[in-house]
Amino acid sequence: MRGPHNIWRLIRTGATLERTGAMDVVLEAFRAPPRLRILAHVVGWPFKWLGLKGDPDLPPATRALTALGPAYIKFGQILSTRPDVVGEELAQQLKYLQDRLPPFSTDVAKAMIAAELELPVDQIFSEFSEPVAAASIAQVHRARIAETGEEVAVKVLRPNIERAFRKDIDAFYLIARTIEIVAPASRRLRPMEVIAHFEGVVMGELDLRLESSAAAEFAANTEKDEGFRVPKPIWFLSGKTVMTLGWAEGFGMNDNAAIDAAGLDRKVLAARVLSLFLNHALRDGYFHADMHQGNLKVGADGAIIAYDFGIMGRIDEYTRRVYAEILMGFIRKDYRRVAEVHFEAGYVPADRDIDEFARALRAVGEPIFGMDASRISMARLLAYLFDVTERFGMETRTDLILLQRTMVVVEGVARSLDPHMNIWQVARPVVESYVAKNIGPAALLRDLAQTARILSRFGPKLPRLVEAALIAQADRPKVLVKVRRSRWYLIPAAFVIFAAGIGLGTFL
Protein backbone atom coordinates (compact mmCIF):
# COMPACT_ATOMS: atom_id res chain seq x y z
CA MET A 1 0.00 0.00 0.00
CA ARG A 2 1.11 3.54 -0.69
CA GLY A 3 1.35 5.87 2.24
CA PRO A 4 3.51 7.39 4.97
CA HIS A 5 4.54 3.92 6.19
CA ASN A 6 6.89 3.85 3.21
CA ILE A 7 9.01 6.43 5.03
CA TRP A 8 10.47 3.45 6.87
CA ARG A 9 11.45 1.92 3.53
CA LEU A 10 13.23 5.13 2.50
CA ILE A 11 15.06 5.42 5.81
CA ARG A 12 16.22 1.85 5.45
CA THR A 13 17.39 2.54 1.89
CA GLY A 14 19.64 5.37 3.07
CA ALA A 15 20.77 3.33 6.07
CA THR A 16 21.67 0.39 3.82
CA LEU A 17 23.71 2.59 1.51
CA GLU A 18 25.55 3.96 4.56
CA ARG A 19 26.09 0.60 6.22
CA THR A 20 27.42 -1.15 3.10
CA GLY A 21 29.73 1.74 2.20
CA ALA A 22 27.79 2.35 -1.02
CA MET A 23 26.85 5.92 -0.10
CA ASP A 24 30.32 7.32 -0.85
CA VAL A 25 30.64 5.23 -4.02
CA VAL A 26 27.31 6.49 -5.39
CA LEU A 27 27.90 10.13 -4.44
CA GLU A 28 31.35 10.06 -6.00
CA ALA A 29 30.09 8.37 -9.17
CA PHE A 30 27.47 11.08 -9.69
CA ARG A 31 29.91 13.85 -8.73
CA ALA A 32 27.57 15.10 -6.03
CA PRO A 33 28.41 18.58 -4.69
CA PRO A 34 29.96 18.81 -1.19
CA ARG A 35 26.76 20.08 0.46
CA LEU A 36 24.73 17.14 -0.84
CA ARG A 37 27.39 14.68 0.35
CA ILE A 38 27.37 16.17 3.83
CA LEU A 39 23.55 16.15 3.93
CA ALA A 40 23.39 12.53 2.76
CA HIS A 41 25.77 11.40 5.52
CA VAL A 42 24.04 13.49 8.17
CA VAL A 43 20.68 11.91 7.26
CA GLY A 44 22.00 8.38 6.74
CA TRP A 45 24.58 7.98 9.52
CA PRO A 46 22.22 8.04 12.58
CA PHE A 47 20.17 5.21 11.05
CA LYS A 48 23.16 3.19 9.84
CA TRP A 49 22.41 0.39 12.29
CA LEU A 50 18.98 -0.08 10.67
CA GLY A 51 20.47 -0.79 7.25
CA LEU A 52 20.52 -4.21 5.62
CA LYS A 53 23.86 -5.97 5.88
CA GLY A 54 23.85 -7.61 2.43
CA ASP A 55 26.51 -9.99 1.19
CA PRO A 56 29.89 -8.81 2.56
CA ASP A 57 31.69 -10.62 -0.28
CA LEU A 58 30.17 -8.24 -2.85
CA PRO A 59 31.41 -4.72 -3.72
CA PRO A 60 29.59 -1.94 -1.79
CA ALA A 61 27.11 -0.74 -4.45
CA THR A 62 26.21 -4.25 -5.60
CA ARG A 63 25.92 -5.37 -2.00
CA ALA A 64 23.48 -2.55 -1.18
CA LEU A 65 21.24 -2.94 -4.25
CA THR A 66 20.95 -6.72 -4.00
CA ALA A 67 19.98 -6.33 -0.33
CA LEU A 68 17.37 -3.66 -1.10
CA GLY A 69 15.41 -5.68 -3.66
CA PRO A 70 14.50 -6.23 -7.31
CA ALA A 71 13.40 -2.71 -8.29
CA TYR A 72 16.71 -1.28 -7.05
CA ILE A 73 18.52 -4.00 -8.97
CA LYS A 74 16.71 -2.93 -12.14
CA PHE A 75 18.09 0.60 -11.82
CA GLY A 76 21.53 -0.84 -11.13
CA GLN A 77 21.38 -2.86 -14.35
CA ILE A 78 20.72 0.29 -16.34
CA LEU A 79 23.59 2.17 -14.71
CA SER A 80 25.95 -0.75 -15.33
CA THR A 81 25.93 0.06 -19.06
CA ARG A 82 27.09 3.66 -18.54
CA PRO A 83 30.67 3.80 -17.22
CA ASP A 84 30.91 7.21 -18.90
CA VAL A 85 28.15 8.44 -16.57
CA VAL A 86 28.80 6.63 -13.27
CA GLY A 87 32.48 5.89 -13.71
CA GLU A 88 34.31 2.70 -14.63
CA GLU A 89 34.63 1.46 -11.04
CA LEU A 90 30.91 1.61 -10.22
CA ALA A 91 29.89 0.25 -13.63
CA GLN A 92 32.12 -2.79 -13.10
CA GLN A 93 30.57 -3.38 -9.69
CA LEU A 94 27.05 -3.19 -11.11
CA LYS A 95 27.69 -5.64 -13.97
CA TYR A 96 27.23 -8.36 -11.37
CA LEU A 97 23.53 -7.44 -11.33
CA GLN A 98 23.01 -8.38 -14.98
CA ASP A 99 22.93 -12.17 -14.64
CA ARG A 100 24.96 -13.32 -11.63
CA LEU A 101 22.63 -12.72 -8.70
CA PRO A 102 22.20 -15.46 -6.07
CA PRO A 103 19.85 -18.15 -7.47
CA PHE A 104 17.03 -19.81 -5.56
CA SER A 105 16.77 -23.54 -5.01
CA THR A 106 16.45 -25.81 -8.05
CA ASP A 107 13.93 -27.91 -6.10
CA VAL A 108 11.76 -24.82 -5.68
CA ALA A 109 12.08 -24.07 -9.40
CA LYS A 110 11.04 -27.63 -10.28
CA ALA A 111 8.05 -27.40 -7.98
CA MET A 112 6.95 -24.13 -9.65
CA ILE A 113 7.35 -25.64 -13.13
CA ALA A 114 5.34 -28.74 -12.16
CA ALA A 115 2.57 -26.58 -10.70
CA GLU A 116 2.44 -24.32 -13.77
CA LEU A 117 2.63 -27.03 -16.45
CA GLU A 118 0.73 -29.65 -14.41
CA LEU A 119 3.32 -32.34 -15.11
CA PRO A 120 6.39 -33.56 -13.19
CA VAL A 121 9.62 -31.96 -14.40
CA ASP A 122 11.26 -35.36 -14.92
CA GLN A 123 8.44 -36.30 -17.28
CA ILE A 124 8.80 -33.11 -19.34
CA PHE A 125 12.60 -32.86 -19.47
CA SER A 126 15.18 -35.62 -19.80
CA GLU A 127 17.85 -33.22 -18.51
CA PHE A 128 17.46 -30.24 -16.18
CA SER A 129 20.48 -28.27 -14.91
CA GLU A 130 21.21 -26.12 -11.92
CA PRO A 131 20.65 -22.37 -12.61
CA VAL A 132 22.92 -21.08 -15.37
CA ALA A 133 21.94 -17.42 -14.87
CA ALA A 134 20.04 -15.52 -12.20
CA ALA A 135 18.72 -11.96 -12.44
CA SER A 136 16.39 -9.72 -10.47
CA ILE A 137 13.12 -11.31 -11.58
CA ALA A 138 13.88 -14.84 -12.69
CA GLN A 139 16.55 -17.47 -13.21
CA VAL A 140 17.32 -19.74 -16.14
CA HIS A 141 17.97 -23.49 -16.33
CA ARG A 142 19.34 -25.45 -19.26
CA ALA A 143 17.18 -28.45 -20.12
CA ARG A 144 16.37 -30.99 -22.80
CA ILE A 145 12.80 -31.85 -23.83
CA ALA A 146 12.20 -35.56 -23.24
CA GLU A 147 9.88 -36.00 -26.22
CA THR A 148 11.97 -34.29 -28.93
CA GLY A 149 15.50 -34.06 -27.50
CA GLU A 150 15.57 -30.32 -28.21
CA GLU A 151 17.84 -28.28 -25.95
CA VAL A 152 16.02 -25.38 -24.32
CA ALA A 153 16.30 -22.58 -21.77
CA VAL A 154 13.68 -22.66 -19.01
CA LYS A 155 13.01 -19.35 -17.29
CA VAL A 156 11.33 -19.44 -13.88
CA LEU A 157 10.11 -16.43 -11.89
CA ARG A 158 11.52 -15.91 -8.41
CA PRO A 159 9.08 -16.91 -5.66
CA ASN A 160 7.03 -13.99 -4.26
CA ILE A 161 8.70 -11.60 -6.70
CA GLU A 162 5.51 -9.62 -7.38
CA ARG A 163 5.06 -8.79 -3.69
CA ALA A 164 8.70 -7.69 -3.41
CA PHE A 165 8.40 -5.41 -6.44
CA ARG A 166 5.21 -3.81 -5.16
CA LYS A 167 6.92 -2.91 -1.88
CA ASP A 168 9.74 -1.17 -3.74
CA ILE A 169 7.43 0.63 -6.16
CA ASP A 170 5.25 1.89 -3.31
CA ALA A 171 8.36 3.46 -1.79
CA PHE A 172 9.22 5.04 -5.15
CA TYR A 173 5.76 6.62 -5.28
CA LEU A 174 6.46 8.25 -1.93
CA ILE A 175 9.80 9.54 -3.20
CA ALA A 176 8.12 10.96 -6.30
CA ARG A 177 5.35 12.63 -4.29
CA THR A 178 7.87 14.10 -1.87
CA ILE A 179 9.95 15.50 -4.73
CA GLU A 180 6.86 17.15 -6.24
CA ILE A 181 6.01 18.79 -2.90
CA VAL A 182 9.53 19.87 -1.94
CA ALA A 183 10.59 20.94 -5.45
CA PRO A 184 7.55 22.18 -7.42
CA ALA A 185 9.76 22.87 -10.45
CA SER A 186 10.27 19.11 -10.79
CA ARG A 187 6.60 18.60 -11.70
CA ARG A 188 7.39 19.20 -15.38
CA LEU A 189 9.35 15.93 -15.17
CA ARG A 190 6.14 14.18 -14.00
CA PRO A 191 7.81 11.97 -11.40
CA MET A 192 4.52 10.33 -10.38
CA GLU A 193 3.72 9.45 -14.00
CA VAL A 194 7.24 8.14 -14.52
CA ILE A 195 6.86 5.76 -11.56
CA ALA A 196 3.41 4.73 -12.82
CA HIS A 197 4.97 3.95 -16.19
CA PHE A 198 7.74 1.96 -14.50
CA GLU A 199 5.14 0.06 -12.49
CA GLY A 200 3.19 -0.87 -15.60
CA VAL A 201 6.31 -2.08 -17.37
CA VAL A 202 7.48 -4.17 -14.41
CA MET A 203 4.09 -5.70 -13.70
CA GLY A 204 3.91 -6.81 -17.31
CA GLU A 205 7.35 -8.39 -16.92
CA LEU A 206 6.00 -10.58 -14.13
CA ASP A 207 3.67 -12.49 -16.47
CA LEU A 208 5.79 -14.79 -18.64
CA ARG A 209 2.86 -15.44 -20.97
CA LEU A 210 3.21 -11.83 -22.13
CA GLU A 211 6.97 -12.28 -22.50
CA SER A 212 6.40 -15.39 -24.65
CA SER A 213 4.09 -13.34 -26.85
CA ALA A 214 6.67 -10.55 -27.09
CA ALA A 215 9.41 -13.04 -28.02
CA ALA A 216 7.24 -14.51 -30.78
CA GLU A 217 6.39 -11.09 -32.25
CA PHE A 218 9.98 -9.86 -32.02
CA ALA A 219 11.28 -13.06 -33.66
CA ALA A 220 8.80 -12.64 -36.54
CA ASN A 221 9.77 -8.98 -37.05
CA THR A 222 13.51 -9.65 -37.08
CA GLU A 223 13.58 -12.98 -38.88
CA LYS A 224 15.38 -11.50 -41.90
CA ASP A 225 17.81 -9.28 -39.96
CA GLU A 226 21.33 -10.37 -40.82
CA GLY A 227 23.54 -11.04 -37.81
CA PHE A 228 20.67 -11.14 -35.33
CA ARG A 229 18.81 -14.05 -33.76
CA VAL A 230 15.89 -14.36 -31.36
CA PRO A 231 15.14 -17.73 -29.71
CA LYS A 232 11.52 -18.69 -30.31
CA PRO A 233 9.21 -19.61 -27.41
CA ILE A 234 7.85 -23.11 -26.99
CA TRP A 235 4.26 -22.34 -26.13
CA PHE A 236 3.08 -25.66 -24.69
CA LEU A 237 5.90 -25.49 -22.11
CA SER A 238 5.25 -21.87 -21.08
CA GLY A 239 2.83 -20.19 -18.67
CA LYS A 240 2.57 -17.29 -16.27
CA THR A 241 5.56 -18.25 -14.11
CA VAL A 242 7.51 -20.42 -16.58
CA MET A 243 8.78 -19.72 -20.11
CA THR A 244 10.65 -22.16 -22.35
CA LEU A 245 12.75 -20.95 -25.29
CA GLY A 246 15.12 -22.58 -27.74
CA TRP A 247 18.65 -22.68 -26.31
CA ALA A 248 21.02 -19.99 -27.64
CA GLU A 249 24.75 -20.71 -27.36
CA GLY A 250 27.14 -17.76 -27.25
CA PHE A 251 29.45 -15.47 -25.29
CA GLY A 252 28.08 -12.87 -22.91
CA MET A 253 28.09 -9.41 -24.47
CA ASN A 254 29.88 -8.21 -21.34
CA ASP A 255 32.78 -10.65 -21.83
CA ASN A 256 35.16 -8.73 -24.09
CA ALA A 257 37.98 -11.20 -23.41
CA ALA A 258 35.92 -14.12 -24.74
CA ILE A 259 34.82 -12.10 -27.76
CA ASP A 260 38.43 -11.20 -28.57
CA ALA A 261 39.55 -14.81 -28.05
CA ALA A 262 36.95 -15.95 -30.59
CA GLY A 263 38.47 -13.59 -33.15
CA LEU A 264 35.36 -11.42 -33.45
CA ASP A 265 35.61 -7.73 -34.34
CA ARG A 266 34.20 -5.69 -31.46
CA LYS A 267 33.92 -2.58 -33.63
CA VAL A 268 31.60 -4.46 -35.99
CA LEU A 269 29.56 -5.77 -33.06
CA ALA A 270 29.26 -2.28 -31.53
CA ALA A 271 27.95 -0.81 -34.79
CA ARG A 272 25.60 -3.77 -35.23
CA VAL A 273 24.04 -3.36 -31.77
CA LEU A 274 23.20 0.29 -32.38
CA SER A 275 22.06 -0.22 -35.99
CA LEU A 276 19.78 -3.10 -35.04
CA PHE A 277 18.15 -1.10 -32.24
CA LEU A 278 17.48 1.84 -34.57
CA ASN A 279 16.11 -0.49 -37.24
CA HIS A 280 13.73 -2.14 -34.80
CA ALA A 281 12.56 1.18 -33.35
CA LEU A 282 12.11 3.00 -36.68
CA ARG A 283 11.20 0.20 -39.08
CA ASP A 284 9.01 -1.92 -36.80
CA GLY A 285 8.04 0.46 -34.01
CA TYR A 286 8.71 -2.48 -31.68
CA PHE A 287 12.03 -2.87 -29.92
CA HIS A 288 13.80 -4.68 -27.08
CA ALA A 289 13.72 -2.15 -24.25
CA ASP A 290 16.09 -3.91 -21.83
CA MET A 291 19.19 -4.32 -23.99
CA HIS A 292 21.91 -4.36 -21.36
CA GLN A 293 24.82 -6.80 -21.77
CA GLY A 294 23.18 -9.39 -19.53
CA ASN A 295 20.37 -9.84 -22.08
CA LEU A 296 22.63 -10.17 -25.12
CA LYS A 297 24.93 -12.92 -26.34
CA VAL A 298 27.34 -13.17 -29.26
CA GLY A 299 27.27 -16.37 -31.30
CA ALA A 300 30.41 -18.02 -32.61
CA ASP A 301 29.52 -16.63 -36.06
CA GLY A 302 29.33 -13.09 -34.68
CA ALA A 303 25.52 -12.92 -34.65
CA ILE A 304 23.95 -11.02 -31.78
CA ILE A 305 21.45 -13.12 -29.83
CA ALA A 306 18.78 -11.33 -27.77
CA TYR A 307 16.75 -12.81 -24.96
CA ASP A 308 14.71 -11.71 -21.94
CA PHE A 309 11.74 -10.00 -23.59
CA GLY A 310 9.92 -8.88 -20.45
CA ILE A 311 10.35 -5.19 -21.30
CA MET A 312 9.54 -4.25 -24.88
CA GLY A 313 8.88 -0.81 -26.33
CA ARG A 314 6.34 0.21 -28.94
CA ILE A 315 6.05 3.58 -30.72
CA ASP A 316 3.48 4.65 -33.29
CA GLU A 317 4.23 5.70 -36.86
CA TYR A 318 3.93 9.43 -36.16
CA THR A 319 6.37 9.28 -33.25
CA ARG A 320 8.80 7.24 -35.35
CA ARG A 321 8.79 9.93 -38.01
CA VAL A 322 9.36 12.64 -35.43
CA TYR A 323 12.21 10.65 -33.88
CA ALA A 324 13.78 10.03 -37.32
CA GLU A 325 13.55 13.69 -38.28
CA ILE A 326 15.22 14.72 -35.04
CA LEU A 327 18.05 12.22 -35.57
CA MET A 328 18.39 13.23 -39.22
CA GLY A 329 18.55 16.89 -38.25
CA PHE A 330 21.40 16.19 -35.84
CA ILE A 331 23.22 14.08 -38.43
CA ARG A 332 22.93 16.89 -41.01
CA LYS A 333 23.68 19.52 -38.36
CA ASP A 334 20.40 21.21 -39.25
CA TYR A 335 19.62 22.37 -35.71
CA ARG A 336 16.91 24.75 -36.88
CA ARG A 337 14.99 21.80 -38.33
CA VAL A 338 15.53 19.78 -35.14
CA ALA A 339 14.06 22.70 -33.18
CA GLU A 340 11.10 22.99 -35.58
CA VAL A 341 10.30 19.30 -35.22
CA HIS A 342 10.27 19.65 -31.41
CA PHE A 343 7.83 22.56 -31.67
CA GLU A 344 5.66 20.84 -34.31
CA ALA A 345 5.37 17.73 -32.14
CA GLY A 346 4.49 19.79 -29.07
CA TYR A 347 7.58 18.69 -27.14
CA VAL A 348 8.44 22.35 -26.46
CA PRO A 349 5.80 24.94 -25.43
CA ALA A 350 4.82 27.18 -28.35
CA ASP A 351 5.62 30.38 -26.45
CA ARG A 352 9.37 29.61 -26.33
CA ASP A 353 11.94 31.07 -28.73
CA ILE A 354 12.66 28.57 -31.52
CA ASP A 355 15.97 30.20 -32.47
CA GLU A 356 17.21 30.06 -28.90
CA PHE A 357 16.21 26.42 -28.72
CA ALA A 358 18.09 25.68 -31.96
CA ARG A 359 21.19 27.34 -30.51
CA ALA A 360 20.92 25.22 -27.36
CA LEU A 361 20.62 22.08 -29.50
CA ARG A 362 23.76 23.04 -31.40
CA ALA A 363 25.63 22.99 -28.11
CA VAL A 364 24.44 19.40 -27.69
CA GLY A 365 25.30 18.15 -31.16
CA GLU A 366 28.50 19.92 -32.14
CA PRO A 367 30.80 18.49 -29.43
CA ILE A 368 29.92 14.95 -30.58
CA PHE A 369 30.64 15.27 -34.30
CA GLY A 370 34.10 14.22 -35.35
CA MET A 371 35.21 13.68 -31.76
CA ASP A 372 36.56 10.42 -30.41
CA ALA A 373 33.76 8.97 -28.28
CA SER A 374 36.20 8.21 -25.47
CA ARG A 375 36.73 11.96 -25.07
CA ILE A 376 33.03 12.74 -24.70
CA SER A 377 31.68 13.03 -21.17
CA MET A 378 28.18 11.62 -21.38
CA ALA A 379 27.60 12.70 -17.78
CA ARG A 380 28.22 16.35 -18.68
CA LEU A 381 26.18 16.01 -21.86
CA LEU A 382 23.19 14.57 -19.99
CA ALA A 383 23.51 17.28 -17.35
CA TYR A 384 23.40 19.93 -20.08
CA LEU A 385 20.41 18.26 -21.73
CA PHE A 386 18.62 18.39 -18.39
CA ASP A 387 19.37 22.12 -18.16
CA VAL A 388 17.99 22.62 -21.67
CA THR A 389 14.74 20.81 -20.91
CA GLU A 390 14.29 22.90 -17.76
CA ARG A 391 15.06 26.18 -19.51
CA PHE A 392 12.56 25.55 -22.31
CA GLY A 393 9.82 24.06 -20.14
CA MET A 394 9.93 20.60 -21.71
CA GLU A 395 7.86 18.04 -19.82
CA THR A 396 8.66 14.35 -19.50
CA ARG A 397 7.01 12.29 -22.24
CA THR A 398 6.07 9.03 -20.56
CA ASP A 399 5.35 7.47 -23.96
CA LEU A 400 9.01 8.02 -24.89
CA ILE A 401 10.64 6.95 -21.63
CA LEU A 402 11.44 3.44 -22.84
CA LEU A 403 12.79 4.71 -26.16
CA GLN A 404 15.02 7.33 -24.54
CA ARG A 405 16.22 4.99 -21.80
CA THR A 406 16.98 2.18 -24.23
CA MET A 407 18.90 4.54 -26.51
CA VAL A 408 21.13 5.48 -23.60
CA VAL A 409 21.60 1.82 -22.60
CA VAL A 410 22.30 0.62 -26.16
CA GLU A 411 24.84 3.36 -26.74
CA GLY A 412 26.50 2.34 -23.49
CA VAL A 413 26.64 -1.31 -24.61
CA ALA A 414 28.11 -0.28 -27.98
CA ARG A 415 30.73 1.92 -26.36
CA SER A 416 31.73 -0.89 -24.00
CA LEU A 417 32.65 -2.85 -27.14
CA ASP A 418 34.20 0.07 -29.02
CA PRO A 419 35.04 3.07 -26.80
CA HIS A 420 35.86 5.16 -29.90
CA MET A 421 32.56 4.64 -31.73
CA ASN A 422 30.74 7.70 -33.05
CA ILE A 423 27.00 7.10 -32.76
CA TRP A 424 26.06 9.60 -35.50
CA GLN A 425 28.23 7.89 -38.11
CA VAL A 426 26.69 4.51 -37.28
CA ALA A 427 23.14 5.87 -37.15
CA ARG A 428 23.28 7.78 -40.43
CA PRO A 429 22.59 4.98 -42.97
CA VAL A 430 19.77 3.53 -40.85
CA VAL A 431 18.04 6.88 -40.37
CA GLU A 432 18.57 7.96 -43.99
CA SER A 433 17.02 4.70 -45.22
CA TYR A 434 13.98 5.18 -42.99
CA VAL A 435 13.57 8.85 -43.98
CA ALA A 436 13.79 8.00 -47.69
CA LYS A 437 11.00 5.43 -47.37
CA ASN A 438 8.73 7.13 -44.84
CA ILE A 439 9.09 10.92 -45.16
CA GLY A 440 8.39 12.40 -48.59
CA PRO A 441 6.00 12.08 -51.56
CA ALA A 442 5.82 8.27 -51.48
CA ALA A 443 4.96 8.32 -47.78
CA LEU A 444 2.34 11.02 -48.40
CA LEU A 445 0.65 8.86 -51.03
CA ARG A 446 0.63 5.87 -48.67
CA ASP A 447 -0.88 8.00 -45.91
CA LEU A 448 -3.59 9.30 -48.25
CA ALA A 449 -4.32 5.76 -49.43
CA GLN A 450 -4.62 4.50 -45.87
CA THR A 451 -6.91 7.40 -44.96
CA ALA A 452 -9.05 6.78 -48.01
CA ARG A 453 -9.28 3.06 -47.26
CA ILE A 454 -10.45 3.80 -43.73
CA LEU A 455 -13.05 6.25 -45.02
CA SER A 456 -14.16 3.78 -47.68
CA ARG A 457 -15.19 1.29 -45.00
CA PHE A 458 -17.86 3.77 -44.01
CA GLY A 459 -18.93 4.40 -47.62
CA PRO A 460 -22.26 2.54 -47.40
CA LYS A 461 -23.12 4.42 -44.23
CA LEU A 462 -22.20 7.91 -45.42
CA PRO A 463 -25.53 8.79 -47.16
CA ARG A 464 -27.47 7.72 -44.07
CA LEU A 465 -25.13 9.67 -41.79
CA VAL A 466 -25.51 12.80 -43.93
CA GLU A 467 -29.27 12.36 -44.04
CA ALA A 468 -29.38 12.01 -40.25
CA ALA A 469 -27.32 15.18 -39.90
CA LEU A 470 -29.67 17.10 -42.17
CA ILE A 471 -32.74 15.84 -40.32
CA ALA A 472 -31.17 16.91 -37.03
CA GLN A 473 -30.60 20.34 -38.46
CA ALA A 474 -34.23 20.44 -39.58
CA ASP A 475 -35.23 20.75 -35.94
CA ARG A 476 -33.79 24.27 -36.16
CA PRO A 477 -35.97 25.88 -38.88
CA LYS A 478 -34.24 29.25 -38.81
CA VAL A 479 -31.05 27.81 -40.18
CA LEU A 480 -32.51 24.90 -42.17
CA VAL A 481 -32.22 26.58 -45.58
CA LYS A 482 -28.66 27.67 -44.88
CA VAL A 483 -27.69 24.19 -43.76
CA ARG A 484 -29.20 22.58 -46.83
CA ARG A 485 -27.40 25.01 -49.10
CA SER A 486 -24.09 24.67 -47.34
CA ARG A 487 -24.08 20.88 -46.99
CA TRP A 488 -25.62 19.64 -50.21
CA TYR A 489 -22.15 18.65 -51.43
CA LEU A 490 -21.59 16.13 -48.64
CA ILE A 491 -23.41 13.30 -50.40
CA PRO A 492 -21.44 13.39 -53.68
CA ALA A 493 -18.24 14.12 -51.73
CA ALA A 494 -18.80 10.98 -49.70
CA PHE A 495 -19.02 8.87 -52.82
CA VAL A 496 -15.95 10.57 -54.31
CA ILE A 497 -13.95 9.70 -51.19
CA PHE A 498 -15.31 6.16 -51.25
CA ALA A 499 -14.27 5.68 -54.91
CA ALA A 500 -10.89 7.36 -54.38
CA GLY A 501 -10.19 5.07 -51.45
CA ILE A 502 -10.81 1.96 -53.51
CA GLY A 503 -8.86 3.23 -56.52
CA LEU A 504 -5.85 4.64 -54.67
CA GLY A 505 -5.72 1.67 -52.29
CA THR A 506 -5.69 -0.75 -55.23
CA PHE A 507 -3.02 1.26 -57.10
CA LEU A 508 -0.65 1.38 -54.14
H or E stretch at 424 = helix 423-438
User: What is the C-alpha separation between 422 and 419, in angstroms, rounded?
Assistant: 9
Distance CA 173, CA 187 (A): 14
290 is catalytic: yes
Is residue 422 within 8 A of residue 216, CB to CB? The reply is no
> Rounded to whole angstroms, how far apart are CA atoms 232 and 248?
10
CA nearest neighbour of 98 among 62, 143, 52, 68:
62
Please give the C-alpha separations between residue 246 and each of 153, 165, 220, 237, 308, in angstroms, as whole numbers: 6, 28, 15, 11, 12
What lies within 8 Å, CB to CB, of 103 at 6+ separation is 130, 131, 134, 139
Annotated active-site residue in 84, 168, 290, 418: 290
CB of 26 within 8 A of CB of 61?
yes
End-to-end CA distance of the chain: 54
Helix axes 60-68, 22-29, angle to 10 degrees: 110
Q: Which of 236, 285, 382, 292 is nearest to 77 (CA)?
A: 292
| Number of H-type helices and E-type strands within the chain | 25, 10
- Can you tell me the distance from the alpha carbon of 367 to that of 380, in angstroms, rounded to the nearest whole number? 11
* CA distances (Å), origin 40, targets 34, 46, 47, 48, 173: 10, 11, 12, 12, 20
Q: What DSSP assignment string belongs to 322-351?
A: HHHHHHHHHHTT-HHHHHHHHHHTTSS-TT
DSSP-derived pairing of the beta strands 228-229 and 304-306: parallel
- Please give the radius of gyration of the chain, using alpha carbons only, rounded to the nearest integer: 27
Enumerate residues 6+ apart whose C-beta is below 8 A from 174: 2, 3, 4, 6, 7, 9, 10
Output b/e per residue, 62-99; b: 16+ Cβ within 10 A.
Answer: bbbbbbbbbbbbbbbbbbbbbbbbbbeebbebbbbbbb
Asked if residue 23 lies in contact with residue 41, where contact means CB atoms within 8 angstroms, the answer is: yes
The Cβ-side half-sphere exposure at 255, using a 13 Å CA radius, reads 14
| Three-class SS of 161-222 | HHHHHHHHHHHHHHHHHHHHHHCHHHHHHCHHHHHHHHHHHHHHHCCHHHHHHHHHHHHHHC
Task: Give catalytic residues, as residue numbers.
Answer: 290
